[in-house]
Amino acid sequence: MSTHGPLSGIKVLDASSILAGPLAAQILGDYGADVIKIEHPSEGDAMRGHGPAKDGVPLWWSELARNKRTLGLKLSDPDGAEVFKKLVATADVVIENFRPGTLERWGIGWDTLSEIQPGLILARITGWGQEGPYSDWPGFGTLAEAVSGFAHLTGQPDGPPTLPPFGLADSICGVSAVGLITMALYHRDTNGGTGQQVDLSILEPMMLAVGPGLTVYDQLGIESTRTGNLSVNNAPRNLYRCADGAWVAVSTSATSIAERVLRVVGHPEVIDEPWFATGQGRVEHVDLLDGWVADWIQQRDADDVISAFTDASAAIARVYTPRDILDDPHLKATGMITTVKDDVLGDVVMHGVLGRLSETPGQIQFTGRPLGHDTQDCLGSLGYDADAVEDLRSRGVIA
């Protein structure tokens, strides 16, 4: 493994599955952590079956499991648990997302693991958290998107609550977990602290992302409703169709931007109205403002619309398809999309490393590997000889 990156020297055991935990481990690995992906030896991570595959290679997996050595290990088997304990003795972080109490039932709960490795950070990512009335419930991002209020707010005013067509709650949770894990590492390594547990539910970050609706309801008794693509905080803000059929997004979160937009679309006279000075005031006149913007845009092709808005320093962006993303020069230049070599697929385009550190940038060393690709090396480093490894494999403990 490379010694490159700010997390060089940190060892992470990714014993989680599907998306939130594995995404956190992916980001840690991108920034130099040595990540060992632990999967059930016969079933593997269910994420291997999510999304399209090419030549037998699951494409989402090639990104999500990048920079991870993969070990097939049955944690519920006593011998598998013993292997896990030996791995933990060499680790800094364990990420898991089993239902609360599962690791304890297998004899590898926090009390046992922290005794083996006092400096261990055990990140426990679940749907509902380790405690509380719902802690034993099955938890997935879809449920968090429902309970957080996101689905209630999403969709057209006269339509049903709407879920996102991708793993929104899981993704936000994964990124959030990285922050909590690195804070725990900082406390351990800089403040002279000990290891600790990180208890994070998929629900919590999603609730934060939805915004201040709870406070508004508590203080004003106002319950937010669906507004489609309109904003309750500022106007004009919407998706608009151009004459050539393309769609563009316009945002006016700042009053100065709203002024520029109205000048572009030929209605500067409204800028001096008292109500125009605040986002809330503009929302109260959204039909007027939104109508002017829509009328102006629908008479012009997207390139002309974007050019006019850009010249005026007004905020606009084209609604992209995957092809548009791949062709965008800015996304290429900044590394937001990159190309990585895969043993089977050859060159594979995927998302780049999250963010850019000037002195210790992250990197992608390799794409996701087949189940058990690194089992021999991982167990060999723990002192298991070839006969011991073969014995465990023959009994289905490892893959």
SS3 category, 311? helix
Q: Which residues pair with 58 in a beta bridge?
A: 53
Task: Please state, in angstroms and as integers, the Cα–Cα distance from residue 51 to each residue in 40, 48, 62, following that order.
Answer: 20, 8, 11
The secondary element (H helix, E strand) that includes residue 53 is: strand 53-54
The answer to whether residues 144 and 115 touch, using CB atoms and an 8 Å cutoff, is no
Instruction: Measure the CA–CA gap between 389 and 399, rounded to whole angstroms.
Output: 9
Could you confirm whether 170 is annotated as catalytic? yes
Taking each helix axis from N to C end, the angle separating 255-264 and 286-298, rounded to the nearest 10 degrees, works out to 50
What are the start-end ranges of the E strands in 130-204?
A: 196-201
Q: How far is CA 246 from the centre of its chain?
A: 28
Residues 196, 96: Cα–Cα separation, whole Å: 14
Report the DSSP pairing between strands 247-250 and 316-318.
antiparallel
Cα distances (angstroms) measured from residue 348 to each of 55, 334, 338, 341? 13, 17, 8, 6
Coil, helix or strand at residue 247 = strand
Q: Which candidate, 74, 23, 15, places its Cα nearest to that of 353?
A: 23
Spatial contact of 196 and 136, defined as CB atoms under 8 Å apart: no
Exactly one of 14, 34, 170, 290 is catalytic; name it. Answer: 170
Question: Cβ of 153: how many Cβ atoms within 10 Å?
Answer: 17
Q: Output the CA–CA distances (angstroms, integers) from residue 73 to 87, 305, 374, in the order listed.
A: 11, 56, 11
Query: What's the rounded Cα separation, in Å, for the pair 367 and 264?
Result: 46
Please identify every residue annotated as catalytic: 170
